[in-house]
A and B are shown apart, each in its own frame.
Chain A
């Protein structure tokens, strides 16, 4: 018996007993998912999938990567995307495909011919299962990377404290990627708000080692090059101890114990400038 007759046998069986197989398949998958997806929804998904597979096989193909299965593949990718977003496990997702094997087993293992056809069909389903798990993983990776991006955005706000004064409350560890983002945002805000003073508050930074200090210095130097005064505030006693113990040099960069001190100093300078303007000195 060759592949064509096997396919014909499979197509005939699948077409004849469509309702029965589909009901069983939906039930098996439904048990796996334990009611986290409505039966109607599941029935619709699997029905579409069943018909797509049947159509591809009617066209005479058993190759899961072939062009006849394009429709099936896109349905499967859609299905695993949804599953990944809804928080189902990879096993539960791939089982949706493999369950069809269990459903077909009793009807197709009666004699040697149909058993051979069944094995070929099983191979097809294995291919589709792999595809599903790949799509699932890809979706999860997309979710993770977009979350990492959001976290980066969330953790680096630049706030305007006063006319001409912006503040950056840093929370969490400072690595080179975050420094880059902080620097970019701070410098852009300086330009946008026409500010002359920037205060970087490190109250929320748990530790300051040479690496972190290096990053802070870079940010301050960059802000200075744009023509803004930059102060570091919120240095806790332990952090001050560490900085001195490590021999980190902040040079002529002004530092303050608290944000309020830094803000007072900045406001004083801003007021002085404004005074000069009013006097018509400038």
Chain B
């Protein structure tokens, strides 16, 4: 299977909604697609919605942190939104604190946070 996670553009924001559990190849593809799209569109923000993910392993956790770092270098702020309670608890138990990644409760709050950052208020 060569499924790719779609990267959608809404104004100056790129939206990545992960709907299925990711295998390693999909994670690598996503990293590449996302950085290409940021450069191509000049996006100022990236929102990664993981509300459909029931399992986030350390590989996906690292991918999120890695994406956030790459996007920041390319001039876009990354917000991870919609993390489930069970996922947050698993990541804590794994010792991953995702300290470099900004998070928000849901997509709406994530977009608000991005605008706030753009306005220099957060």
Contacts and interface: CB of A to CB of B under 8 A. Distances in A.
A282 interface: yes
Contacts of B109: 194, 196, 227
A228 interface: yes
**Max chain B Cβ within 10 angstroms of own Cβ: one of A194, A196, A281, A282:** A282
**Max chain A Cβ within 10 angstroms of own Cβ: one of B85, B102, B121:** B85
Contact of A225 (B88, B110, B115, B116): B88
B105 A228 contact: yes
Contacts of A221: 92, 97
Interface of A: 180, 183-184, 187-188, 190-191, 194-196, 218, 221-228, 273, 276-277, 281-282
Interface of B: 80-81, 83-85, 88-89, 91-93, 97-98, 102-106, 109-110, 112, 115-116, 119, 121
B105 A196 contact: yes
Contact of B119 (A190, A224, A281): A281
B2 to A, nearest CB: 30
Interface of A is mostly: helix
B42 to A, nearest CB: 21
Given A221-B97, A227-B81, A276-B121, 13 more contacts: A184-B89, A191-B84, A194-B105, A196-B109, A218-B93, A222-B89, A222-B91, A222-B92, A225-B103, A226-B103, A273-B112, A282-B115, A282-B119
Contacts of A190: 85, 105
Contacts of A188: 85
A276 B88 contact: no
Contacts of A218: 92-93
Contacts, number: 69
A44 to B, nearest CB: 51
B105 A225 contact: no
Given A190-B105, A196-B105, A222-B88, A227 B116 contact: no
Contacts of B81: 227
Nearest to B111: A282
Contact of B103 (A180, A224, A281): A224
Contact of B83 (A180, A226, A273): A226
A282 B89 contact: no
B89 A183 contact: yes
Nearest to B91: A225
**Those 9 A-B pairs whose CB atoms lie nearest each other, nearest first:** A187-B85, A227-B103, A227-B104, A222-B88, A227-B105, A225-B88, A282-B115, A222-B92, A218-B92
Given A194-B105, A276-B121, A282-B115, A227 B89 contact: no
Given A276-B121, A282-B112, A227 B83 contact: yes
Contact of A226 (B93, B97, B105, B115): B105
**Max chain A Cβ within 10 angstroms of own Cβ: one of B93, B104, B105, B110:** B105
B100 to A, nearest CB: 12
A180 B91 CA distance: 13
B45 to A, nearest CB: 13
